Every structure is written in C-alpha cells, then in structure tokens.
Amino acid sequence: MTKEEDKKEMWSMDDLISLTNEIQTSEVSFRKKGFSFQYCELTEKEEPNLEVKDDLSEAEKNAYYMEIGTGRVKCMLDKANNMNPEGATASGENWGKLPSTLRFMIANEIMGVESEVTENFTTG
C-alpha cells in the first residue's frame, strides 16, 4: 500500500444512511454564469420504478435507461426541494424547460460523473 492509500477515508454506515436525509447543494457553470441547485440521495423505496421489457431493441433500451436516469435526477431534486422549499431552483416540474446542456451538466454533477463539456456545448 502507498501512503496515500493508508490515509484513505472510509464511509461509516451511519454517515451513508444520513445522506438520504441530508440536502446537498452544488453549482455548475453554464455560459459563464453559475447555477446552484440542491438534491438529496434516495433510498431504494424512493427510486423511480420502471421495468425493462426484454423485447426492446438496443436503441429502445438505451432510451429507456436515459428515461430512468432522468427520473432519478428529478426525484433527487424534488426530494431536496420538498425538504427545503426556499432553496429550490431546478425541479422535476421545470426540468423539461431548462436548456438540455444545463440539464446534462446538473445530472452529471448529481450522479458523480466527472466529465468536461466541450466549448461547443457551453458557448453560444
């Protein structure tokens, strides 16, 4: 093990469980301005429940998984917004009205996806 691995912090069960009742805030930069939002981790019971049909084409399955991911993000936003209405910005209700690039950035931030959006997506 390296010295860095020795210093690695580990989650406790209590800390992980508490995340499902803790509002998290984040910010993304969109077109040279910041956009703040809040979200909350979900428990399994709170996850959107959609069943995948076996007879779907690959393209249909991919679209379906995108729908599941979008539903999950909207649930995470709405859960935090219900817990803290004063901090609400993005929500399941206004999600479809937001610019798609901003939605992509918010979803990536919430889901912990580390990616850089190229200048083509952030300018204009």
Question: pLDDT digit string (tens) for 74-116?
Answer: 999 999 999 999 999 999 999 999 999 999 999 999 988 755 4
Domain contains 73: yes
Please, what is the average pLDDT of the chain? 86
What's the confidence (pLDDT) of residue 118? 42
Phi, psi of 30, rounded to the nearest 5 degrees: -130, 120
Are the CB atoms for 66 and 48 separated by under 8 Å?
no
CA dihedral 31, 34, 38, 44 (to 10 degrees): 40
- Give the residues across from 37 on adjacent strands: 26
27 pairs with which residues across the strands? 36
pLDDT exceeds 90 at position 23: yes
In a domain? residue 3: no
Residues 24/38, Cβ–Cβ less than 8 Å? yes
Residue 112 within a domain: yes
**pLDDT-based confidence at residue 65 (cuts at 50, 70, 90):** confident
Asked, for residue 1, whether it belongs to a domain, the answer is no
Q: What is the pLDDT of residue 36?
A: 97
Q: How confident is the model at residue 123 (pLDDT cuts 50, 70, 90)?
A: very low
**Residue holding tokens 């998984």?**
65
Q: How confident is the model at residue 45 (pLDDT cuts 50, 70, 90)?
A: very high
Residue 79, number of CB atoms within 10 A of its CB: 21
- Look at residue 68 in the predicted model and tell me its pLDDT: 87
Exposed e or buried b per residue across 34-55, where buried means at least 16 C-beta atoms within 10 angstroms of its C-beta: ebebbbbbeeeeeeeeeeeeee
Q: Kindly report the pTM of this predicted structure.
A: 0.79
Structural domain contains residue 6: no
Which domain range does residue 65 map to? 12-116
